[in-house]
Amino acid sequence: MATRINKYLSEVGYCSRRIADRLIEEGKVTINGKVPEIGTKVEEGDKVEVKGQKIEKSTKPQNIYLAFNKPVGIVCTTDRKVEPDNVIDFINYPKRIFPIGRLDKPSEGLIFLTNDGDIVNKILRSRNNHEKEYIVSVNRLINRDFIQRMSNGVEILDTITKNCYVKKMGPKKFKIILTQGLNRQIRRMCESLGYRVISLKRIRIMNIKLDVPTGKYREFTKEEISELNELLENSTKTYE
């Protein structure tokens, strides 16, 4: 059965569909020696190559799921030429993996890495409402108005953020649980209300909690994978 090229690369664990689309646009993917368009389908017996490397479904690796405590200063990218301080070189894992989503360079905490491209969109799609929890410190005293406005939605990036859980943890510290993943969302929300983020740490994604030292990673347990799959059972993989 024919499969779209981005889905094919995702299913064999090479990369996510989004990254696959980018590789196709950059002309780094070929099907039978020809550069395809986005949406081109792979037929049985077609020869698929990425950067000259042959990619086959029969070579699909065992799924890898890592929970990594990203330090400040490390960039969540697989582009090792552009960013010398990238997460792939830092971890130096012996098999091909890529991060699910991002934490910006000044932020720290939990990020997933995997070779399972099929799971990425299920976790990241906003409409799937999967929780991500953060501890944030800001430069000014937090008041009730700040908590209420952060909870009820803030105008950033030409949209209003979704309602979320926000709890004061200290004079200048709060906890926030998001089901969205807008670019630099928490920092932009704070800036919109006249605050500046001093530190930002992600401590949970869905059922996986941050429990390893900074700069270290661990594999998901079988129980975590089973629970994660249950949480993702009704999640859509498609783009919004």
pTM, rounded to two decimals: 0.73
Q: What's the pLDDT score for residue 238?
A: 46
Calpha distance 6→3 (Å, rounded)? 8
Where do the structural domains in the chain lie, given as residue ranges? 3-59, 65-122+211-232, 131-205
Query: Is domain 65-122+211-232 in CATH 3.10.20.30, yes or no?
Result: no
Which pLDDT tens digits describe the chain residue by residue (240 residues)? 788 999 888 888 788 788 889 999 999 999 999 999 999 999 988 999 999 988 876 555 688 999 999 999 999 988 877 667 899 999 999 888 999 988 999 999 999 999 888 888 788 775 667 899 999 999 999 999 999 999 999 999 999 999 999 999 999 999 999 998 889 999 999 999 999 999 999 999 999 999 999 999 999 998 998 898 888 887 665 444
The two tokens of residue 120 are 């990425």
pLDDT of residue 233: 80
Cβ atoms within 10 Å, residue 184: 17
Helix, coil or strand: residue 45: coil
Cα dihedral: 42, 46, 48, 54 (round 10): 150
Q: Which CATH number fits domain 131-205: 3.30.70.1560, 3.50.50.60, 3.60.20.10, 3.40.50.300?
A: 3.30.70.1560
The yes-or-no answer to whether 65-122+211-232 and 131-205 have a common fold is yes
From 79, 89, 104, 145, active-site residue: 104
Let me know: does 58 contact 77? Beta carbons within 8 Å: no
The tokens of 144 are what? 């009730």
| Closest of 118, 165, 153 to residue 9, by C-alpha | 118
CATH topology for the 3-59 domain: 3.10.290
Is residue 104 flagged as an active site residue? yes
